[in-house]
Structure formats: C-alpha cells, structure tokens
C-alpha cells in the first residue's frame, strides 16, 4: 500500500526507458506499478530489484486495461502520476506498410494511450489533482528518416497532450509530453549506423542520450516543481 506516498503507474516498464522511469520514481520514494507485455524476465527482474508492482496487460484491450488499473489501485490506493510510456515501432519503408501494420502501430502507440488514460483519469478528476506524462518521440516532430506509421502515431501524442491538458486544467490535472531524441538503448538500437552518425553530427550535445536522462525529465514534469508547466512538448534530444 502506498499510504501517503505518491502512487505512480508507468506503462511499458520492461523496456529501456520504462526501466529507467521505474527506478527514478522508486528512488523518489513513490509507490510504483508498471505494465509489461512481452518481456516477462525483464519485468520480474525489475520488480524484484525495485519493489515495484509488475502487471501484465495488453494495453490495446479495454478489459485488460481495466483489470490492470484495478490491480494497480489495489496496491497503490490512488494513481497520482500516470506515465504513458508503452509503445512500439516497426522498421518498414512506406511502400511496404500494409493496412494491418498501420492499424497495429496506431493501436500500440495511440489506442493504448487513450485506454489507459481514460481508465485512470477519473480518479484524478475526483481528487482534483494529478499529473500525466506522455512519452513521445522526435520521430513525430522533425524531418527524420523514420518509419512513417510510427512518426504519425508519435506526432499525434502531442495533440492528445495539448487537448487533454486544456480539458483537465479545471480539475488541477497537468498533462505534458517528454520527447526523447536518439537514445543509446531501446528503440535507438534499431537505428542504422549511418543515421546514428548523422544525428550525432547535428546534435549540439554530440552524442546519443540515455534512458535515465529521459526519466529525470519525466520525474520533474510529474512533480510539483513543474506546477507551472502544462500542455508542453519537452524535448530531451541533445539539441537538434
């Protein structure tokens, strides 16, 4: 049980950014639950190391999302912070993208975002407090050589954030997006060497980022230290 601690729900906790998010919020003294879908071994290892609650769920299935949130609430008592991190990509050139690929990409990156937020936000509205941090991608913000269906899905995250931030402002709930650039782990490992070198050459920081750096910004946006930050896309890209 979370008691007086902030309850934090993080989706996609078993990936590189997800693991960093879980560790950051646990280090901040929060009671944390996270979801996983495919990588059970990584989820079990993270739960054992941090004491966070690991919850298996297909986030594109409403019934599984409802059951997952109920289980999270049973442990946390309340969700004060929601971090929508779950998503996936698929490396395909546009002519080879089939309708099924498009639908799967929208479901993994947008439908899941909608379903989890919809299930959690009612509690925040009732308490008139809360913070939501969505994880976007530079792929949806810049002219980059990235899969079109992934870029389209991630670009939509910003619109979701701004509209929801406006609607929920009357309830004291803030909504922001953290926008990572190229990272040295996770999805970043799928980037070909040529594109990686080009990114680093044009990046003011001169390097790829780390998942922990994204987690630091997400933790800030979820905290009261960011009480005057709302409806924003906050870039963690090294300066592109």
Interval 196-213: pLDDT, tens: 899 999 999 999 999 999
Residue 106 — pLDDT band, cuts 50, 70, 90?
very high
- Percentage of the chain modeled with pLDDT above 90: 88
The pLDDT of residue 2 is: 55
Residue 143 — pLDDT band, cuts 50, 70, 90?
confident
Cβ atoms of residues 9 and 79 within 8 Å: yes
What tokens does 54 get?
């690991």
The pLDDT of residue 195 is: 86
Q: What is the mean pLDDT of residues 157-164?
A: 98
Give the separation between CA 231 and CA 68, rounded to whole angstroms: 27
The pLDDT of residue 187 is: 73
CATH 3.40.50.720 describes domain 7-183+211-226: yes
Q: What is the mean pLDDT of residues 46-64?
A: 98
Residue 3 — pLDDT band, cuts 50, 70, 90?
low
Q: What is the mean pLDDT of residues 133-149?
A: 91
Strand-pairing partners, residue 174, are 131
Higher pLDDT, 184 or 61: 61
Per domain, the residue ranges of the chain are: 7-183+211-226
Residue 38 — pLDDT band, cuts 50, 70, 90?
confident
Cβ atoms of residues 158 and 177 within 8 Å: yes
Residue 29 scores a pLDDT above 90: yes
The pLDDT of residue 136 is: 96
Residue 181 scores a pLDDT above 60: yes
Catalytic residue among 150, 171, 199, 228: 150
150 is catalytic: yes
Q: What is the mean pLDDT of residues 156-184?
A: 97
What's the mean per-residue pLDDT of the chain? Answer: 95
Tracing tokens 């490396």 back to the chain, one arrives at 91
Residue 72 scores a pLDDT above 80: yes
Q: What is the mean pLDDT of residues 82-109?
A: 96
Strand-pairing partners, residue 183, are 209
CA-based max dimension of the chain: 53
- Percentage of the chain modeled with pLDDT above 70: 99
Give the separation between CA 240 and CA 236, rounded to whole angstroms: 10
Give the separation between CA 122 and CA 131, rounded to whole angstroms: 12
């Amino acid at each position: 049980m979370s008691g007086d601690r902030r309850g934090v729900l993080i989706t996609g906790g078993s990936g590189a950014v997800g693991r960093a998010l879980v560790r950051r919020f646990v280090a901040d003294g929060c009671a944390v639950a996270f979801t996983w879908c495919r990588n059970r071994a990584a989820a079990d290892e993270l739960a054992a190391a941090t004491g966070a609650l690991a919850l298996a769920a297909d986030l594109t299935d409403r019934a599984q999302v409802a059951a997952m949130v109920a289980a999270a609430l049973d442990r946390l008592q309340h969700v004060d912070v929601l971090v929508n991190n779950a998503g996936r990509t698929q490396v395909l050139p546009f002519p080879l993208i089939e309708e099924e690929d498009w639908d799967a990409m929208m479901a993994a990156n947008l439908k899941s975002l909608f379903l989890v937020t919809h299930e959690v936000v009612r509690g925040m509205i009732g308490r008139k407090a809360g913070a939501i941090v969505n994880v976007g991608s530079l792929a949806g913000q810049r002219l980059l050589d990235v899969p079109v269906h992934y870029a389209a899905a991630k670009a939509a995250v910003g619109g979701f954030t701004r509209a929801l931030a406006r609607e929920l402002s009357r309830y004291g709930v803030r909504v922001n997006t953290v926008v990572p650039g190229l990272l040295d782990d996770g999805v970043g490992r799928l980037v070909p060497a040529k594109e990686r070198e080009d990114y680093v050459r044009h990046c003011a920081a001169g390097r790829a980022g780390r998942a922990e750096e994204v987690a630091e910004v997400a933790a800030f946006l979820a905290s009261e230290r960011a009480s005057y930050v709302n409806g924003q896309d906050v870039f963690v890209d090294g300066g592109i």
